[in-house]
Structure 1
Amino acid sequence: MKKSFSLLVLFTLIAITGCNAQDNSAANGSGDKSPQKKTDMTVEELKSRLEAGDTNLVVLDVRTADELKGELGALPGIIHISLQELENRANELDKYKNKEIAVICRSGNRSVTACNILKKDGHNVINVQGGMRAWRKL
């Protein structure tokens, strides 16, 4: 009887451990074999794609209008919608849902917030790491 009870406890523990391991892999995405979308790009990658004339890429600058006129300047051909206006004007970007939107700001912080707003709206976005400060160092 003791042996049967010990075996029952052992099998129960194995079953619980196995189920727990399966749940953790699903929760952390490790069970998913699909490739992860890239969420960041360097300014070097952005420059390379712009110089190559990548027609699948548009650049959104989320700095203020005054910042565009400031010392860091602005990239040519950008779309400008400040972060403060983005939620109200995100629909202006709907025509670019089939393209990748590279989001840039001064240092890379506001662009992360902007990416999160646009992802919720179904846009394919990528954050430009380091922002215009990093671009200026190129």
Structure 2
Amino acid sequence: MKIITPEEVLKKIDEGQELHLIDVREPEEIATGKIGIAQTIPLGTLEFHLDELDKNLEYIMVCRSGRRSAQATSFLEENGYKAANMEGGMLAWEGPVE
């Protein structure tokens, strides 16, 4: 499984790189703050949103601690998508949130 650190994600955002983040936390968790550019798809519904994702793009998966996003990353990889897990999740994120 591919891993990316929160620092690497923040650097890419600061450099203006086009990123595709998916936050797999539940709505009540998202309400506490999320990375601005992140799309929200709760882990339990990810399988129903595959048709909305592009197999040519790489997705960075985010959750609270990195555990659910690791599951999401594995699931996407098993289904032919490119994905990376943001290590440590939002607990390790030091960038801006909205």
Q: Which residue matches 1:129? A: 87
- Report the 3-state secondary structure (helix = DSSP H, G, I; strand = E; otherwise coil) of the residue aligned with 1:60: strand
Aligned residue runs from structure 1 range 8-27, under 5 A = none
Aligned counterparts of 2:34 and 2:11: Cα–Cα separation in 1: 17
Q: Which residue matches 2:24? A: 62
- Report the 3-state secondary structure (helix = DSSP H, G, I; strand = E; otherwise coil) of the residue aligned with 1:90: helix
How many pairs are equivalent?
Answer: 96
Q: Which runs of 4+ in 1 moved over 2 A?
A: none
Per-residue Cα deviation, 1:111-134 (whole angstroms, up to 9, x for no partner): 010011111221110000000000
Give the drift of 1:51: 1.0
Structure 2: tracts of 5 or more residues without a match: none
Aligned counterparts of 1:110 and 1:84: Cα–Cα separation in 2: 10
User: What's the C-alpha RMSD, in Å, of the aligned pairs?
Assistant: 1.7
Give the drift of 1:136: 4.0
Aligned counterparts of 1:61 and 1:90: Cα–Cα separation in 2: 14
TM-score by length of 2: 0.89
1:49 aligns with one of 12, 19, 23: 12
Structure 1: tracts of 5 or more residues without a match: 1-37
Give the drift of 1:60: 0.5
Asked if the contact 2:6/2:94 (under 8 Å) is kept, the reply is no
Q: Which residue matches 2:76? A: 118
Q: Which has the higher strand share?
A: 2
Q: Which has the higher helix share?
A: 1
Aligned counterparts of 1:98 and 1:118: Cα–Cα separation in 2: 12
Q: Which residue matches 1:40? A: 3
- Report the 3-state secondary structure (helix = DSSP H, G, I; strand = E; otherwise coil) of the residue aligned with 1:102: strand
Per-residue Cα deviation, 1:26-77 (whole angstroms, up to 9, x for no partner): xxxxxxxxxxxx700110000001111112x21010000110102xx11112
**Letter of the 1:75 counterpart:** I
